[in-house]
Amino acid sequence: MLCYDPCNLLMTADKPDPAAVTDSLSAADIAMLHVKQRKEGIVLPNLTAGDLDWKAQLAAVRRIGYGGPALLEIAPGEDVWSALEASRQAFSLPGTG
């Protein structure tokens, strides 16, 4: 099992397609979904538009039957709690209700 972070795939030398990788997994492969966004190599403070299509990623993890925990990674800053809440509300993440 793995802590699956599709955003990290964008940081590898071979840059695999996160959508294809997610579709190749099964729910049993994933212990936790790690959720963050980046744009042009910089981790963003919340799940806004960026390099990763999170709506497509969440549809894919639902399609493979994953419903386990999701961990939001929020960049540090004075507004970390509002960034966390905005990200939580923007997406219905597995394991968050």
Confidence of residue 73 (pLDDT cuts 50, 70, 90): confident
Q: Residue 97 pLDDT more than 60? A: no
Q: Whole-angstrom Cα distance, residue 97 to residue 3? A: 20
Share of the chain above pLDDT 70, in %: 93
Reported pTM: 0.82
Question: In the predicted model, is pLDDT for residue 94 greater than 70?
Answer: no
The whole-number average pLDDT for the span 62-87 is 87
The pLDDT score that the predictor gives to residue 15 is 85
